[in-house]
């Protein structure tokens, strides 16, 4: 794995961040370091921000190789772990700005759901936003990003590694906004 010194330092700081620790009903239990939470198989909170442009295309980005889970995978959502002193909405706004350089846009909250996979147990809050400005990628977390049609992202996820938690968020979002025929 070819990881830059900046990525390694960022990963170490990330692993030490104090994350909201919750139970299986999303009730706050306290806070733990991110790595400790993951290693102990406990449940945290995560945000997933689906960023669209005004043409309806979805921003997909590729994660750096230093990420603790899903390194190098493609991701259909910006986002991350909710810190101990944050709400879901505060976390979503922070993560969107950190990862993609997008700030000051209205975030629409959709739903929360539980995602349970070994090493990744989360209560997930799904948000969406529309942005037509430039992206400013965080080099320690994001290798590249582009806007593509939603259908293309879903088709590509069958051929390339995509983060399963953010794909679950996207699929739930699409089911919720789909209009009956």
- Report how far residue 127's alpha carbon sits from residue 59's, in angstroms, rounded to the nearest whole number: 13
Widest CA span of the chain, in angstroms?
Answer: 52
- Report how far residue 61's alpha carbon sits from residue 146's, in angstroms, rounded to the nearest whole number: 6
Has residue 43 been placed in a domain? yes
Residue with tokens 């290798």: 143
Tell me, what's the pLDDT at 7?
Answer: 63
Please give the tally of structural domains in the chain: 1
Has residue 181 been placed in a domain? no
Quote the pTM value.
Answer: 0.90
Tell me, what's the pLDDT at 121?
Answer: 95
Tell me, what's the pLDDT at 35?
Answer: 87
Tell me, what's the pLDDT at 65?
Answer: 92
Parts of the chain with a pLDDT under 70: 1-3, 6-16, 177-181
Q: Does the annotation flag 95 for ligand binding? A: yes
At residue 148, the 3 state secondary structure works out as strand
Q: What is the CATH number of the domain that holds 60?
A: 3.90.79.10
Q: Does the annotation flag 144 for ligand binding? A: no
Has residue 29 been placed in a domain? yes
pLDDT digits (tens, 9 = 90+) for 27-77: 999 999 988 998 999 999 999 999 999 999 999 999 999 888 999 999 999
Determine contact, residues 102/135, Cβ cutoff 8 Å: yes
């Amino acid at each position: 794995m070819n990881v830059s010194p900046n990525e390694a330092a960022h990963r170490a700081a990330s692993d030490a961040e104090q994350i909201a620790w919750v139970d299986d009903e999303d009730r706050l239990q306290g806070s733990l370091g991110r790595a400790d939470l993951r290693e102990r198989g406990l449940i945290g909170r995560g945000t997933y921000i689906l960023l669209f442009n005004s043409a309806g295309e979805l921003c997909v980005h590729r994660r750096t190789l230093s990420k603790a889970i899903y390194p190098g995978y493609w991701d259909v959502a910006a986002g991350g772990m909710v810190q101990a002193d944050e709400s879901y909405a505060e976390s979503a706004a922070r993560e969107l700005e950190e990862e993609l350089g997008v700030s000051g846009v209205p975030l629409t909250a959709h739903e929360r759901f539980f995602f349970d996979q070994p090493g990744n147990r989360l209560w997930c809050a799904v948000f969406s936003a529309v942005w037509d400005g430039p992206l400013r990628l965080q080099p320690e977390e994001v290798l590249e990003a582009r806007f593509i049609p939603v259908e293309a992202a879903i088709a590509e996820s069958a051929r390339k590694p995509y983060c399963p938690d953010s794909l679950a968020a996207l699929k739930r979002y699409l089911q919720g906004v789909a209009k009956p025929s």
